[in-house]
């Protein structure tokens, strides 16, 4: 138990704050300055692992964080990802923590172009949780997995004392297979790429908020939670090499997804704010609460970076799929201002779009 000293950019925080889980700047700092150095340490470089089946990420340079790792194993490319779900409350309009836990992890695999194969389910239950509630969550997971054609293959259950887990938390990890010829990763976005959003943004976040805070925003709003691997398969069927980068804008919203891809690719992003599909109820809620819709989580949308020449084909394929029927092009990648995301506003000006620092909407997934 040697002392541990926190490296520079984390030094202002001696303790974990909610923002460290928000998917924004603080989360990135935690990953880059705490987890990655710790996990890389210990003396054995990854590429020197002692078996000839040692997995190595086939595509990503160190530091370019993707939705899932892709490992070369015995001639296959396996995608592997994990997510814990702590959403509060457990049930909300349009879904529950059960659907989220399946869709979220399936979508992380899909955003590497992988065909999802199997999920694990690790439950942390609070003593006193009604078994009927657990049953409803498990059944929601079973239904969502069956609908997605993915198997819940292995599981684990722990119980902690009353007061310690807010009902339940669940982790799902997922494995998938990247088909030959598919190469989807954040750093493949290049200047000229067109940027497509698969549908209206922000509905998941506002749906959870509405029930959590007991607010009404002048209209029904339901979570957009959905599995996206079918949509991705349709896009890849239209063009395999032309689909460069995909991301599902969950915590931190569309703004964070665009910023992360801009940073990973070392390229600039420009989009027209008025083309981003924001449902009226999301717009009303964000106005009321002082939120930027670009920062509100979706759980059934993706943003795609597509080669210019393939844009029409990909848009057509998306619109022909139920999960992408409202897909629209919102902007493009530029060689200017690398790493920076710029929105063209309704007034003809521009503004820089950044990730939220920390946690705008805690416990949203």
Q: How many CB atoms lie within 10 A of CB 122?
A: 17
Answer yes or no: are the C-beta atoms of 90 and 363 closer than 8 Å: no
Residue choice 160, 215, 309, 320 for contact with a copy of itself (CB under 8 A): 160
Which of 130, 125, 132 is CA-nearest to residue 161?
A: 125
Q: Cβ contacts of residue 96 below 8 Å, gap of 6+? A: 90, 136, 137, 140
Our finding on whether 289 is near a copy of itself (CB under 8 A) is no
**From the list 8, 9, 25, 43, which residue makes contact with a copy of itself (rule: CB under 8 A)?**
43
Residue number with CB closer to a copy of itself (221 or 327): 221
Question: Toward a copy of itself, which CB reaches closer, 180 or 349?
Answer: 180
Q: Does 163 bind a copy of itself (CB under 8 A)?
A: yes
- Does residue number 132 form part of the binding site for a copy of itself (CB under 8 A)? yes
Minimum Å distance from CB 120 to a copy of itself? 4
Q: Is 180 in the site for a copy of itself (CB under 8 A)?
A: no
Nearer to a copy of itself, 26 or 265 (CB): 26
Regarding 164 and contact with a copy of itself (CB under 8 A), the answer is: yes
Tokens of 357: 């620092």
> Quick one: 9 or 338, whose CB is closer to a copy of itself?
9
Cα-Cα-Cα-Cα dihedral sign, residues 134, 135, 140, 144: positive
Q: What is the CA radius of gyration of the chain?
A: 20
Checking DSSP bridges between strand 303-306 and strand 243-247, what pairing results, if any? antiparallel
Q: Does 145 bind a copy of itself (CB under 8 A)?
A: yes
Site string for a copy of itself, 301-340 (x = CB under 8 A): ----------------------------------------
Per CB under 8 A, the segment of 137-145, 194-202, 268-276, 344-352 that binds a copy of itself is 137-145
Q: Does 269 bind a copy of itself (CB under 8 A)?
A: no
Contacting a copy of itself within 5-34 (CB under 8 A):
5-6, 10, 13-22, 27, 30-31, 34
Q: Pick the closest to residue 275 from 310, 303, 308, 307 (CA basis).
A: 303
Phi-psi region of 154 (alpha: psi -120 to 50; beta: other; left: phi over 0): beta
- Comparison of 225 and 311: residue with beta carbon closer to a copy of itself: 225
Site for a copy of itself in 224-243 (CB under 8 A): none
Alpha-carbon span 90 to 200, nearest angstrom: 23
> Which helix (H) or strand (E) segment is 32 a member of?
none
As a whole number of angstroms, the distance between CA 153 and CA 349 comes to 51
Residues 54-83 touching a copy of itself, rule: CB under 8 A, are: 54-55, 57, 68-69, 71, 73-76, 78, 80-83
CB 236 within 8 A of CB 182: yes
Helix (H, G, I), strand (E, B) or coil at 175: strand
Q: Which of 9, 58, 91, 338 binds a copy of itself (CB under 8 A)?
A: 91
């Amino acid at each position: 138990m040697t002392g541990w000293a926190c490296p520079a950019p984390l030094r202002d925080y001696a303790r974990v704050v909610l923002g460290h889980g928000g998917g924004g700047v603080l989360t990135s700092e935690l990953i880059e300055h705490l987890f990655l150095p710790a996990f890389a340490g210990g003396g054995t470089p990854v590429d020197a692992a002692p078996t000839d089946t040692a997995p190595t990420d086939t595509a990503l340079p160190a530091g370019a964080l993707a939705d899932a790792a892709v490992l070369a194993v015995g001639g296959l490319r396996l995608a592997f990802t994990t997510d814990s779900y702590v959403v509060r409350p457990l049930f909300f309009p349009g879904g529950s923590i059960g659907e989220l836990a399946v869709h979220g992890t399936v979508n992380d695999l899909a955003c590497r172009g992988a065909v999802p194969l199997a999920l694990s389910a690790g439950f942390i239950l609070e003593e006193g949780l009604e078994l009927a509630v657990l049953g409803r969550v498990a059944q929601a997971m079973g239904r969502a997995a069956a609908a997605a054609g993915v198997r819940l293959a292995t599981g684990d259950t722990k119980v902690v004392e009353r007061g310690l887990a807010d009902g339940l938390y669940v982790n799902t990890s997922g494995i998938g297979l990247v088909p030959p010829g598919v190469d989807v990763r954040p750093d493949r976005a290049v200047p000229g790429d067109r940027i497509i959003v698969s549908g209206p943004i922000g509905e998941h976040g506002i749906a959870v908020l509405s029930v959590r805070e007991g607010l009404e925003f002048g209209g029904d709003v339901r979570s957009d939670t959905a599995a996206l691997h079918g949509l991705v398969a349709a896009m890849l069927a239209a063009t395999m090499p032309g689909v460069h980068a995909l991301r599902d804008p969950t915590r931190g919203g569309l703004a964070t997804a665009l910023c992360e891809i801009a940073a990973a690719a070392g390229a600039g992003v420009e989009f027209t704010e008025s083309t981003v599909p924001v449902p009226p109820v999301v717009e009303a809620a964000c106005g009321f609460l002082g939120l930027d819709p670009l920062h509100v989580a979706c759980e059934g949308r993706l943003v795609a970076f597509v080669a210019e020449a393939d844009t029409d084909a990909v848009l057509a394929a998306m619109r022909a799929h139920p999960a992408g029927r409202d897909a629209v092009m919102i902007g493009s990648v530029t060689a200017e201002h690398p790493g920076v995301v710029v929105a063209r506003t309704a007034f003809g000006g521009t503004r820089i779009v950044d990730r939220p620092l920390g946690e705008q909407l805690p416990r949203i997934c």
